Amino acid sequence: MKLWLTEKQTENLSMSCRIRETLYVGQSEYQKVVVADSFEFGRMLVLDDVFQTSIFDEFVYHEMIAHVPLFTHPAPKKVLVIGGGDGGAVREVVRHAAVESVEMVEIDGMVVEASKKYLPEISCTMRDGHPKLNLMIGDGIAHMNAVENHYDVILVDCSDPIGPGEGLFSREFYQDVFKALKPDGLFVQQTESPFYHQPLIRRIYRDISDLFPIAKMYLANIPLYPGGVHSFTMGSKQVDPETCALPAKMPFDTRYYNLALHRSCFSLPNFASDLLK
Ligand code: SAM
């Protein structure tokens, strides 16, 4: 039998993946959680029918959301990950020797449990536990309200701006992020497709650049996501990711990120840089 999983990417565009096997289906308090094994992408996490991550291309997203900010900051000791329930972001964060602690606040325990069981390559750090990692199940928005001058780096590894992730794209949330960061702190958020989410990207960039002295967008190629090109937006209080000091050589192996790409990923095609004007 041929099974297909379909994500409606826009009103007029869908992407379908042929599925070998459905491994997990659950309905949490927040969303429908599915793990399926697809022919093209391998095992995939799908939340409310939106493709979140896959074994095939997860390295791009997780390396780019973690290593760009962590190599930008001169001493990223205290790190917070909001969302990231598949565990891929914290897997990359703990590889940095400077990191002393990483807190992760994911709203949906079902995403964490399904990822631990069916996506061990991605969830390994979260599943096996790590001395640097403190995993909390809770709302990242509420967590931010209570913190001040505390983190060096914050990664907002969230789902789309609908459902539980909606408030993670608000100006009020960015104000809380600013407050929670130390004076030289910085944050990065996944900010969707520069082709298909232009009004959202414009609004996010405006809000972040109103608050942070340095606001920059960078891109990465992620075939699972709409348009195959994905954006990340950084707000930084002091350090500029394009001129910051970088290590002379990479201290560990990566599959997508490298030190030349650290600079070049901020060089945007004209249609994308026009979104930031
Ligand atoms: N790489 C993915 C993408 O861009 O499609 C996102 C990965 S991760 C699975 C996103 C996570 O954010 C989900 O597990 C979701 O439960 C979590 N999330 C959504 N809203 C949240 C909130 N308010 N607080 C904490 N986590 C949240």
Q: Which DSSP string corresponds to 95-159?
A: T-TT--EEEEEES-HHHHHHHHHH-HHHHHHHHH--TTEEEEES-HHHHHHT--S-EEEEEEE--
Rounded Cα–Cα distance for residues 64 and 211 (Å): 23
Mutate to test the pocket of ligand 1, among 80, 154, 158 (most ligand atoms within 8 A of CB): 158
Question: Domain 58-274 class?
Answer: alpha beta
Ligand 1: residues with CB < 6 A are 45, 52-53, 61, 82-86, 105-108, 111, 139-141, 157-159, 164-165, 168, 190
pLDDT digits (tens, 9 = 90+) for 138-194: 999 999 988 999 999 999 999 888 888 899 999 999 999 999 999 999 999 999 999
pLDDT digits (tens, 9 = 90+) for 82-96: 999 999 999 999 999
* Structure-block tokens of residue 104: 């992760």
Ligand 1 center from residue 50 Cα (angstroms): 11
Catalytic: which of 86, 152, 157, 176? 157
**pTM of the entire predicted model:** 0.97
Determine whether 157 is an active site residue.
yes
Which CATH fold topology does 3-54 show?
Answer: Spermidine Synthase; Chain: A, domain 2 (2.30.140)
Locate the domains of the chain by residue range.
Answer: 3-54, 58-274
Give rounded-to-5 percent helix, strand, coil for the chain.
35, 35, 35
Q: What Rg do the C-alpha atoms of the chain give, in angstroms?
A: 18
Ligand 1 center from residue 165 Cα (angstroms): 6
